[in-house]
A and B are shown apart, each in its own frame.
Chain A
């Protein structure tokens, strides 16, 4: 069973609304990822953190999304103004810091933008 906890499981928003989802990484994992998975099962990397610092993010994330991983609080990903094309499964994953570590994924938050 996944030890990466994502909430909510489902999120429904209208276009232009904010959409916020949360993730509690597995205990002891300093590296956290957000991926977007579309209806064709394709993954798009959005952003990753090491502890509270952003390691890498794509342009879309930088412009329309805000994400953070504060210490002692869940990580979060927020879309500032939802668009229809944002409808997808948002997956959070965490890993340890070693060179060959696997990613542990949560069940995802399924966002529908109407």
Chain B
């Protein structure tokens, strides 16, 4: 079946430093790749998605490139802010049943 592996947390960074959260995936489908973010007490919300290989997605200064050859979709941000503190999930969707497969999440804490 499908699987997603991402950087194990927690990750603690100082404001203004750069972030990379690694994500790799396995699937026999042609997936759409997603990054979701979850804040305490809420459900996950979409950060961005990339449906096509070799394309880049971005939102709020976060970005990731769908690398089909390397089966990777690493999340990056050049300068994190305290408000970026949350849990980040890499996910993929493929196949006829629309199921979204999540990684285990990476807890990011940004200190002032």
Give the dominant DSSP class at B's interface: strand
In the bound complex, how far is the Cα of B77 from the Cα of A14, in angstroms?
A: 45
Residue among B34, B101, B102 with the most chain A CB within 10 A? B102
Q: How many residues of A contact B (CB 8 A)?
A: 25
Q: Number of A-B pairs whose CB atoms are under 8 Å?
A: 57
Contact across chains for B104 and A107 when beta carbons are under 8 A apart: no
Identify which of A2, A42, A101, A106 contacts B104 (C-beta below 8 A): A42
Contact across chains for A105 and B99 when beta carbons are under 8 A apart: no
How many residues of B sit at the interface, in one of the four size bands?
20 to 34
In the bound complex, how far is the Cα of B51 from the Cα of A100, in angstroms?
A: 6
Q: Which residues of B contact A107 (CB under 8 A)?
A: 41-43
In the bound complex, how far is the Cα of B51 from the Cα of A91, in angstroms?
A: 24
In the bound complex, how far is the Cα of B48 from the Cα of A100, in angstroms?
A: 12
B contact set with A: CB distance below 8 Å: 32, 34, 38, 41-46, 49, 51, 87, 89, 93, 97-102, 104-105, 107
